[in-house]
Amino acid sequence: MSDQAPQEIRKLPAARGLAWLSGSWGLIKSQPMRLLLISLFFQFLLSFSQTGALGLVIVLCLPVLSAGLLQAFFLVEQGEKPMLVVLFMPFTAKKSIGSLMLLGAVAMVLALLVVTLVLAGQMVDLDPDIIARIEQGDLDALQLIDPQVLEAAVLSMALGAAISGTLTYFSVPLIWFRNRKMGSALMMGLKGLARNWKPLLVIGLMLGLLAVPIVLLFGSFYLSALSEGTASTLLGFLLLLLGPMFQLILFGSQYLAFRDIFGLDETVATARKPEDQLVA
């Protein structure tokens, strides 16, 4: 498909958001173990996002990995069994990898800009040793930070994540499934968000409700680690299960929303099916 071809952006009712969520759960139930394995590995890669230079590379590659997870849902919808390798398929797509990486760079720069503006002047007085301890996963070091600075840091990261998510929500699948260039995908994706704000708002509210128990669970896990010195194994297991499941619901609903609003270019999508899928 030519990048200059006109693209229809459908406008759907608010109730469609509930259909995307239920449809996402239906896709997950059809291949739960395979999708959970892919999501767990995605989360494993994300765990390196706080490790200096490697973390920047992971953040830069997030749109590429996201395209791989969306491809997994496409395969499930086609009745196939996605393998873990599908997560890395976009790295081998010559027509898309450049646009996906460029999108990752744009999202990362804007997110860092937001964090810098929100935290301007507040991080200067922090002891470098405390920052180093936090980067190494020392939860006790968080108690040494001024609560106002910590609150601003959480706010800035949430704003940065929101901006990145908004920019990439439809632009990633537009690049991957419809061979759009980064600039075209970005503009078209934002138009799709604006045109369908009602069903997407429904998705956001429902996902927010689903996230509440996970946030509470993480808070309990964090408090347990601070008070007892060691985190609860049960809480850790629940987080390990619920976190990837929430991610799957998020990506599944994103895939279905994109499919209904923009449609799939079957020629492109089918051509990107792995020719040799090993059996797990």
Question: Do 107 and 89 meet the contact criterion of CB atoms below 8 Å apart?
Answer: no
Q: What values do phi and psi take at 119, rounded to 5?
A: -95, 10
Average pLDDT of the chain, as a whole number: 82
The residue-averaged pLDDT of 229-257 equals: 83
Model confidence at 49, pLDDT cuts 50, 70, 90, reads confident
pTM reported for the whole predicted model? 0.83
The residue-averaged pLDDT of 25-36 equals: 95
Model confidence at 115, pLDDT cuts 50, 70, 90, reads confident
Q: If DSSP codes are grouped into helix, strand and coil, which group holds residue 146?
A: coil
- pLDDT for the residue 120: 65
Residue 37 has pLDDT above 90, yes or no: yes
- Which has more confidence, 53 or 12? 12
pLDDT tens digit string along 137-195? 555 555 656 666 666 667 777 787 888 889 999 999 999 999 999 999 999 999 999 99
- pLDDT for the residue 121: 56
CA dist 269 → 94, 112, 216, 243, 272 (Å):
14, 33, 38, 28, 5
CA dist 4 → 20, 128, 178, 180 (Å):
29, 50, 11, 9
